[in-house]
Amino acid sequence: MLPVPREFNLFGVYLSPMLISMVLAVVLAIITVRALNKYRLSRFIAQPGLVFVAIVLIYASLIGTFVIPA
Tell me the per-residue pLDDT of 39-67, one tens digit each, with 9 for 90 and over.
Answer: 999 999 999 999 999 999 999 999 999 99
Does residue 2 register a pLDDT over 90? no
**Hey, where are the domains in the chain?**
8-67
Q: Cα 69–66–59 angle (5° rounding)? A: 110
**How confident is the model at residue 44, as a pLDDT?**
96
Does residue 22 register a pLDDT over 70? yes
> Quick one: CA torsion of 27, 28, 29, 35, rounded to 10 degrees?
110
pTM reported for the whole predicted model:
0.86
Comparing 49 with 70, the larger pLDDT belongs to 49
Distance CA 29, CA 12 (A): 29
Does residue 1 register a pLDDT over 80? no
